Amino acid sequence: MTYDDLGEFARHIMSMRQLTSVELVNTYWQQVGQIAKTGRIGFIIRGNMSWKSKQQYGIISDDLWLKTNRFDPIGKHIATNSLRTHLQWSMNLYEIWGTLNIDIDPNDAQVSKSAIECAIEKISSVTNAMSILFGVSLRWIPASYGIVRHMSPSSPPKREEYESWDCIPLQISQDEHSTRILTDESILHELIPLLHILEDLPNTNIRQILLTAIDWHASANRFLSGLNRFTNYWSSIELLGNYFYPLLQADIVQRNTKSQKRDKILTIIKKGVTLRNCMKIIQECNGIRDPSAKIKILSFLGIIANRERMHKALFKPDEKSGKSLYDIRNDIAHGNMSERDFEKVESMRHCINDARSISREIIFKTINKADRLEKYMM
């Protein structure tokens, strides 16, 4: 798609900006001519995941195409793709290219907006499914998909030796310099089946809440986010508990009905309210009216897992830190712990791995037990 003048191009850009202020949508709209021509919308997944592929042209599954952009410098001239070598070796940053098939009309911003938004949602799902499945730190960026001519690099000019004061990055944590190696089998037999399972869940509400939980977990996998990692892992768990608890049958999760709540509260009040016990009674009645996160989470988990084991994993203090995962969540949320508490944060670093492990387990158990959950929903 071409434009005769700058004004025509500006009107085309504004046709989408009048509909949405989402930058991702508008970025892709600027490339709508190329997208419409190829029928594909491009993206790049970046992170500490190195895909060693034997598939020269990538892997295709339905409307999804994935191809590794990993560069192997072994046996090649040092000047060959030096930027890619630097990113991989010094920054532990690898790329996977991808596209989704898309039907888009450059002359209809309204229809194209919906198509682009659906593609963005699926790209996020693909990226975050990779993250939770393989335990890696990933993010994706929009990309233009098209043919690129590659020229042989010229020999670098000779330079005289010189000295300078430079800053050379040091290792911050083991996570930051750990790389997950994938093979084609990882993509074909783990990632693609997971994407199909999520897409095929018949209950759209359950599918959406699971995708959101995976989003939280994937955000936590980004290793530079500090204590946010822990809170995001916990959020993925609490999200599922808060969602399913009020929707599941009351007798299944031992949830009080409205009449049962009213009767229990009236029974407490009839025992007498005094200045000495009024605060305790208010707290007790409020707990009946709106159960704690602990009750909601465990009631939900009792359907898909061993309740006692989950109680121990989430709410029992461990010997090393003296705190449960729930205690740490409260400390962070209430300002009792920050990144500046270096010794305290370091002493609880193992708890981040515990939170990651239990979050991943709960999400996959929820996926596997989705049929049972739907059966018990009201």
> For the segment 7-21, what is each residue's pLDDT rounded down to a tens digit?
777 888 899 999 999
Q: How confident is the model at residue 117 (pLDDT cuts 50, 70, 90)?
A: very high
Q: What secondary structure does DSSP assign to 182-196, as a single string?
A: E-HHHIIIIIHHHHH
Which of 33-42, 65-74, 86-95 tops mean pLDDT?
A: 33-42
Strand partners, 59: 66
Among residues 238, 193, 191, 22, the alpha carbon closest in space to that of 109 is found at: 22
| pLDDT per position as a tens digit, 19-60 | 999 999 999 999 999 999 999 999 999 999 899 999 989 999
Pick left, alpha or beta for residue 189 (phi over 0 → left; psi -120 to 50 → alpha; otherwise beta): alpha
Q: What pLDDT does residue 79 have?
A: 55
Task: Give the pLDDT of residue 41.
Answer: 95
Q: What is the pLDDT of residue 91?
A: 66
pLDDT at residue 11, as a whole number? 87
Name the 3-class secondary structure at 355.
Answer: helix
- Closest C-alpha to 47, from 92, 80, 105, 79: 92
Candidates 328, 329, 264, 323; CA nearest to 291 is 264
Q: Quote the percentage of the chain above a pLDDT of 90.
A: 61
Nearest residue to 20 (alpha-carbon basis) of 106, 108, 109:
109
- Cα 206 to chain center, whole Å? 17
pLDDT at 126 over 90: yes
